[in-house]
Amino acid sequence: MKICLLCFDISNNSLGRAALLASALSSHHDVKIIGVSKNGATWYPMRDVDIHIEIYPWRRYPFFISTIRKMLRDMDADIYIACKLRPTSFGIALLKKWSSRKPVILDIDDWEAGFYYHSGFWGSVGRFMNFSNPNGLPYTWLMEKLVGFADSIIVSNKFLQNRFSGCLIHHCRDTSILNPENFDSQKVKKSLGLENNRVIMFMGTPRAHKGIDDLIKAFESLNHSDLRLVFIGAEPSFNPRQEKIVVLPKTSFNDLPKYLSAADILVVPQRDTTDTQGQIPAKLFDAMAMAKPVITTRVSDIPEVLGGNGYLVEPGDSDGLARAIQHVLDQPLEATEKGIRARKRCVELFDIKVMERKLLKLIEKTIEKL
């Protein structure tokens, strides 16, 4: 069967979930990912991924209409999976469904409209008037009203399930690749210039809603000469200007496990905002797979995903974050044991094989309903 996944922007991290779904299905079906790219390129961490990806130009309206027409002409799959509740994925998939009668599965891993609401009333009004952006607020808002036209719905957390219904399929990871036994953490530390350092790691793009300010404040309150806060995946412009903070360049998904192996603690300090209430950070599953002690916040499904195999603080509490980091540093054996249990939980519940089974069952049910 030919399956086409639509990614709303191949140049950003939305490609991560699309590629995960594609990987889970690729051993059973002919799979490809298509989508527009705002900068014309593939998201850097996934440039080496072994998945067929087709890129279309991103433009503002009215010029984007020609891109839509070309995409619809080229789309020839038996089933479509729209990744994210966005016009350039779900909207285009619906147009194809209505013209070809092919089924559409909608995968929702973020509350997309929530990203617009954090700017307040007037900010939201201004964004709502942005009609030239194909993924602007008015069109994204419309997508929520069209959810019922999807033949099946997948959600990545319970907030989204309560809002949109659907089959709950969390982010997953290939735990055979993300396996701490494959790496010598001390050798990796040495190669990164972190020999003899204890490493607190943050992965992904540092943003306010991800609690980056809380993490830096917590780190600065800790007085350990050997402690380093390491950021992986930050933009080149990100420069905290602190001697003990290390910013490493963006890395590919293939190299991610190696970098992760250098961490002594991985911190996921999500704040409780409209940006984060409808998401589960994928890096949480990376850390669990690599058996790393995780310090994170009580936001969304994070506590349930960890299942007691990590350290939880209240969102926005930098003092609590500092205390949790200090506790892990003081209790390395306990932290190591929690990391081992977290990996076991990840293998059992969040391995890519688990996602594969759930997806195949959902596709079968979707086809049966037609």
Helices (H), the chain: 14-25, 64-74, 92-100, 114-117, 120-128, 137-145, 158-164, 185-191, 212-220, 256-261, 282-289, 302-306, 318-330, 332-349, 352-369
- Cα 300 from chain centroid? 14
Question: 105-128 pLDDT, tens per residue?
Answer: 999 999 988 877 655 554 555 555
Class of the CATH domain delimited by 2-172+352-369:
alpha beta
From 6, 7, 24, select the one nearest 361 (Cα to Cα). Answer: 24
Would you list the domain boundaries of the chain?
2-172+352-369, 180-349
Helices (H), 77-119: 92-100, 114-117
* Pairing status of strand 245-248 against strand 167-168: unpaired
Using alpha carbons, list the distances in angstroms from residue 69 to 46, 100, 134: 27, 14, 14
Positive or negative, the Cα torsion across 68, 171, 164, 127? negative
Question: 296-329 pLDDT, tens per residue?
Answer: 999 999 999 999 999 999 999 999 999 999 999 9
* Pairing status of strand 227-232 against strand 198-203: parallel
Mean pLDDT of the chain: 94
Q: Is the peptide bond before 62 cis (omega within 30 degrees of 0)?
A: yes
pTM: 0.94
Positive or negative, the Cα torsion across 186, 192, 195, 201? negative
Out of 3.40.50.300, 3.10.129.10, 3.40.50.720, 3.40.50.2000, select the CATH number for domain 180-349.
3.40.50.2000
Percent of the chain with pLDDT over 90: 86
**Contacts of residue 365, Cβ cutoff 8 Å, sequence gap at least 6:** 152
- Are the C-beta atoms of residues 184 and 190 closer than 8 Å to each other? no
